[in-house]
Amino acid sequence: MSHEHYFICPHCGHRSMATDRNAGFRRAARGCERCGFAYLFELLDDYYPAPNAAFFACDGDGRIVDCGRGSFELTGLKTESAIGQHLSDALGLRFEDGTDHLSTALEWEVRVQQKPVEVNTHGEPPAKAVADIFPAYDDEEGGLLVVLTPSNHH
């Protein structure tokens, strides 16, 4: 019996399912069927981001490789100026409990979900958000998908 895998695109947020983690018979990563983005993140369980969630794809060192849907609306940061910066530096992330959850997700290759965080917004007071962090489940380059959902928590 085949097992369905859940995927999410870091660029447009489109969710999909497939029985194969690769694109056809190649070892190449699956791409997004909706927007054409080059790779998807696999989710161990289905995940439903909020409509106003902001997506950030990072490499294995936590540097931004793409700002996806909702990122500009939350932060005011343009993709061109964000690429190559460490996510924590670019967004001034401050987790409520003081833990560096990005490093935890990268080092241990574990999901970190529903962590309250403050995000710098260019020209505005910091925004409160909830962070969901997903490691790339590949054997080669690693990386992170960071989803920030604006919130009103205190």
Q: Tell me, what's the pLDDT at 14?
A: 93
Digit-coded pLDDT (tens) for 65-83? 999 999 999 999 999 999 9
- pTM for this structure? 0.85
Cross-strand partners of 41: 8
Maximal C-alpha separation, the chain: 53
Which letter, b or e, does each residue of 21-46 get, where b requires 16 or more Cβ atoms within 10 Å of its Cβ?
Answer: eeeeeeeebbebeeeebebbbbbeee
Residues of the chain predicted below pLDDT 70: 1-2, 22-27, 138-140, 152-154
Pick from 60, 73, 45: which is nearest to 145 by CA?
60
Digit-coded pLDDT (tens) for 4-28? 888 999 999 999 988 877 666 666 7
Q: For residue 113, count other CB atoms closer than 10 A to its CB.
A: 14
Please name the residues in contact with 145: beta carbons below 8 A apart, sequence gap of 6 or more. 8, 10, 41, 55, 56, 57, 58, 133, 134, 136
Domains by residue range for the chain, with CATH: 5-150 (3.30.450.20)
* Gap between the Cα atoms of 86 and 4, Å rounded: 33
* Gap between the Cα atoms of 77 and 31, Å rounded: 25
* Gap between the Cα atoms of 126 and 102, Å rounded: 19
